[in-house]
Amino acid sequence: MSRRRQQFMDGSDSSDEEGSDFKASFNISERDLEEEAEGFSGQRKRRKFTKEDAMLGIWAEDDDDSSNAPSPAAARPKFSSAINFKPSKVDSPLSRTQSPQSRNESPEPTSSRPGLGGGTATARSSSFRQAGSTSPAVNKDFAKFASHGTGFGMKMLQKMGWQVGKGLGAEGEGIVNPIETKQRPNRMGIAFKGFDERTDQHKEEAARRGDVPSDEEMEEVSTKTKKRRDAWKKDALTPSVEREETPSKPRKQKTVYKTASEIIKESAASQPVADKIIDMTGPAARELTSLSQVRSQSPTMMETSTRLPELRHNLRLIADLSLSDLDHLTREKRLAEVRAQNLEHEREQLQKRLDSDDAEMKRVDELQRIGREIEAISKSALATGAFEQGDITAMFGEHFKLLETQYSEEFKAFGLDAMVVSVWAPIMKYGCVRWDVLSSPTWASDLVSRWRRLLPCNDDLSRNDDVMDVDGGFQGKQRNGRRGAGSERTLLMTPFESMMFTIWLPKVRSAINNTWNPREADPIIHLLEAWAPPILPLFIYESIVDQLILPKLSKAVSDWDPRNDPVQIHTWIHPWLPTLKAWRLSAIFTSIRQKLSVILRQWHPSDESALHILEPWKEVWDANPMEKLIIKSILPKLTQVMRTEFVVNPREQNLDPLVWCLAWKDLISPVLIGQLLDNEFFPKWLDVLYKWVTLNPMDINWDEVGQWYSWWKQVFASYGLDDNPVVKASFRKGLELMNRASSGERVENPAVVAAR
C-alpha cells in the first residue's frame, strides 16, 4: 500500500507538509479537474492557472478560514450543481456512490442493473442488511484527508451521497472503516501451519455481508493444511494401531542407487568382508556386505514416533553431511595415492634418465679415447711416411669399425665424420698426386665404398632432413644445412664432399681434358662405374658427365667425317649408352642425324655404306626421328632409282636397282616399302604381263608365263615381303589377268584401269 493511499484511508491531509510529493505522485492539475467537470456538465470552459493554484496545488478552494480576498478559485463551478451523473450499465463503485440528486433525477430502476457478483445491487444490499445484524464499529476519521477538518476526499464522497458512519456504495454495502493489513511472520510462506491471513476488519465485514464460513469448513481447511504440511511424515503421524485397523496399500520399496563416492569408498577398503551376512527378513534371502544394509521391514519405534520430527530431520542431515565429508576424504585419499604413484613413476623415469646419462658420459669418454688414438696414429704415419701406402684399413680399420658398429649414434650426434676425413685427407692427397686415372680408374674406390657409412653427404638426406647412407643404416639430422631466402634450401658441403671436390676431382678433370681420347671410352666408363653414386657424391658425378665427358664427345662428333673416317661412329658412341643413358646423349644423336642428312644428299643407293651407318642406330634412336630421316634422305633416292634404272624384262632381267631398295626393308616401315613397290615396281610388272598375255594365242607359252610369275613371288618371299598387303594384292591382280586371258575373255591393261 502506497503512502498516499494510507493517508487517504487515515483521513489525514498531508498537502501542507508534502505538497510537492503528493502532487508528483498523483500528477493531477487544476486543469484536469476542470476538464473532468466540463466533461460531466457538457460545457467546455477554459480557466487561467493562477498564482494561488501554483501555491496550493489542486487543493486550493474557498474555505471559511482563508482570507476574504476574492480569488479565482472562488469562481470555480460547484460539482454538486455542475455534475450530472448518469447511471452506468455495469454495477461499479462509482455507480453505487452517486448523489441523491442524481438518483432522483435518474429514476431508472436499479434492479435491472447487473452487479459484480452476478446479482442486482438492490438484492445484494438487502442481503447485506439481513446478514449485517452486527455492524462493525465506525471509524469517525474515515475519509478525512485534509488538515482543515474536512478534506477533499470527504467532500467528494459527501457530494456523491455518502454519510459518515455508513458503508461505501449506493446502498451502503461497501466497507465502513479503512482497509487494514496484517503482517505475516518473518520468513513464513502463505498459509503456513494454518496461519489466517484475514484481519479482524475483514472478518467483521464478511460477517456483516453474511460471508462468514462455518466452523466445520474452517476445521476441514485446517485439517487439509495440516495434512499437506505433514505429508512427508505421514507414516510417522499415523499410529500403528490405526494402520492395523485401516488396511492401506503397501508402500513400494524405494530403489537406492550407489553413488560414485560409495563405489570409491568400497573399492578403497583394504580388508574385504570375511563373513557373509544373509538377510532372511524379506520374502527371499539376500546376501549383504555390511550390517548397515540390514533394515527391518516392520516400522521401528523411531519411525512410528511423532515426537521431535525436526530433530530427527536435522540429525539425518548431519549424518548425510558427515557421509559426504567422509566420501570427500576418501576421494582425497585416492587422489593422494594416485599422485604418489605418479611421483614414484617420475622418480623412476628420472633415475633411468640419470643412469642413461651416466652411460652416455662413459661412452663419450670412450669416444674421446678413440679420437686421441686416431690422432696419434695419424701423426705417427705422417712422421714415418707410412701414409704413403694409402691403406686406410690397415692404419685405422680397428677404430673405424668401433665407430661404425658400437658408437654409431654418438658418431651421428657429434658429427665425427670430420675426424675421419681429417685423417683420410692427407692420404688421399698423397695418393692422387701419383694416381694415373686412365690406367687405374678404380683406385681407392673400394676403400671409400668400405667406409662410406662414416662419410655422409647431402645426397643421403631424406624428406625429414635425416642423413642416411646407401644401405639405410646411417641416420642423423642435417648438420650443415641452412635455409636461405624463400623456401629453397641452401646446403653446405660435408667434410667428405669437400675432400672429394678439392682433392679427387681436380685429378680426374685434368686426365679427361688433357689425356683422354673420346674414341677410347673404356677407361672413363670404368671410372664412372666404379665411382657411381652413392659412393661418389651426386653433384661431383654430374659435374664430370655434364662438364667433362659430354662436351668432349660433342666435339668429337662434330669433327667426324663419314666419307673419310674408316671407323664407324657407333663403335665409340654406343659404349656410353649403359652408363650415360640415351637421354643424356640426345643432343649428340641430333648432331649425328644432321651430319648424315647432309651427306646423304649426294648418296646413291648402290653405296651400302649409308645402310651400314644407319642400321646400328635403329634400336637407339626413337622411331619418329629415324622415320623422318628415312623419308627425308633415303626414300627419295630409292624412288628415283626404281623409276629411272629399274626395267622389267622377262628375257634379260636386271635386279640390282630392286635389290638396292629391298635392302632397306629393315629400316623402312612396311607401309613405306609397300607404297614404294605399289608406285614404282608393280605398274611396270603388270604392264609387261598384260602385253605378254594379249599376244597371239598361238605365240603364247603359258608354261613360261606361269614360271615367270612364280619366280617373282619367290624373289619377294626371299626378302620376307610376301606377307605385305600391297605385294599380295598386286600378285592377285596378275593372277586374275592370266586366268581371264587364258580363258579367252577380254582383258584390260591394269595400268590404264588404275590411271582411270
Residues 51, 69 within the same domain: yes
Residue 298, CB half-sphere, CA atoms under 13 Å: how many?
Answer: 5
**C-alpha gyration radius of the chain:** 66
More confident residue, 246 or 659: 659
pLDDT bracket for residue 102 (50, 70, 90):
very low
Provide the grid cell at 125. Answer: 444490499
Residues 151, 195 within the same domain: no
pLDDT bracket for residue 213 (50, 70, 90):
low
Residues 87, 145 within the same domain: yes
| Residue pLDDT, tens place only, 643-655 | 999 999 888 889 9
Strand-pair partners of 482 = 490
Is the distance from CB of 521 to CB of 550 less than 8 angstroms?
no
Residues 67, 174 within the same domain: yes
Share of the chain above pLDDT 90, in %: 35
Which secondary structure element, helix H or strand E, spans residue 316, and what is its range?
A: helix 309-384
pLDDT bracket for residue 191 (50, 70, 90):
low
Q: Which residues contact 59 (CB under 8 A, 6 or more apart)?
A: 13, 15, 146, 152
pLDDT at 127: 41
pLDDT at 293: 63
pLDDT at 18: 37
Please name the residue that has the C-alpha cell 651421428: 412
Most confident of 86-90, 92-96, 383-387: 383-387
Residues 122, 226 within the same domain: no
Q: How far apart are CA 17 and CA 669, in angstroms?
A: 131
Has residue 95 been placed in a domain? Answer: yes
More confident residue, 373 or 242: 373
Q: Which residues contact 474 (CB under 8 A, 6 or more apart)?
A: 408, 412, 453, 456, 460, 467, 468
When divided into structural domains, the chain yields a total of 3
| Residue pLDDT, tens place only, 332-368 | 999 999 999 999 999 999 999 999 999 999 999 999 9
Has residue 408 been placed in a domain? Answer: no
Has residue 534 been placed in a domain? Answer: no
Residues 201, 173 within the same domain: no
Q: How far apart are CA 399 and CA 377, in angstroms?
A: 10
Dihedrals phi, psi of 342, to nearest 5 degrees: -65, -40
Go through the chain and tell me how many residues it has.
Answer: 756
Residues 139, 202 within the same domain: no
pLDDT at 537 over 60: yes
| Residue pLDDT, tens place only, 582-641 | 999 999 999 999 999 998 988 999 988 899 999 999 989 988 989 999 999 999 999 999
pLDDT at 475: 37
Residues 49, 165 within the same domain: yes
Is the distance from CB of 388 to CB of 430 less than 8 angstroms?
yes
Has residue 600 been placed in a domain? Answer: no
Has residue 150 been placed in a domain? Answer: yes
C-alpha distances out from residue 716 to 317, 605, 658, 721, Å: 120, 19, 10, 5
pLDDT bracket for residue 265 (50, 70, 90):
confident
pTM: 0.52
Is the distance from CB of 747 to CB of 694 less than 8 angstroms?
yes
pLDDT at 110: 37
Which of 230, 257, 233 is closest to 316 using CA atoms? 233
Whether the CA torsion 126, 128, 133, 138 is positive or negative: it is: negative
Residues 171, 220 within the same domain: no
pLDDT at 131 over 50: no
pLDDT at 144: 56
Whether the CA torsion 494, 499, 501, 502 is positive or negative: it is: positive
Which of 695, 635, 628 is closest to 660 using CA atoms? 635
Dihedrals phi, psi of 482, to nearest 5 degrees: -140, 160
pLDDT bracket for residue 214 (50, 70, 90):
low
Q: How far apart are CA 709 and CA 712, in angstroms?
A: 6
pLDDT at 530: 94
Q: How far apart are CA 547 and CA 189, in angstroms?
A: 105
pLDDT at 385: 77
CA angle at 611 for the pair 610 and 614, rounded to the nearest 5°? 85
Has residue 692 been placed in a domain? Answer: yes
Residues 169, 22 within the same domain: yes
Residues 16, 155 within the same domain: yes
pLDDT at 154: 75
Mean pLDDT of the chain: 74
Which of 527, 411, 531, 426 is closest to 479 using CA atoms? 411
More confident residue, 506 or 58: 506
Residues 194, 137 within the same domain: no
Q: Which domain holds residue 228?
A: 189-233
pLDDT bracket for residue 27 (50, 70, 90):
low
DSSP string over 633-679:
IIHHHHHHHHHHT----SSS---HHHHHHHTTTTTS-HHHHHHHHHH
pLDDT bracket for residue 234 (50, 70, 90):
very low
Has residue 443 been placed in a domain? Answer: no
Q: How far apart are CA 441 and CA 580, in angstroms?
A: 17
> Around Cβ 155, how many Cβ atoms within 10 Å?
16
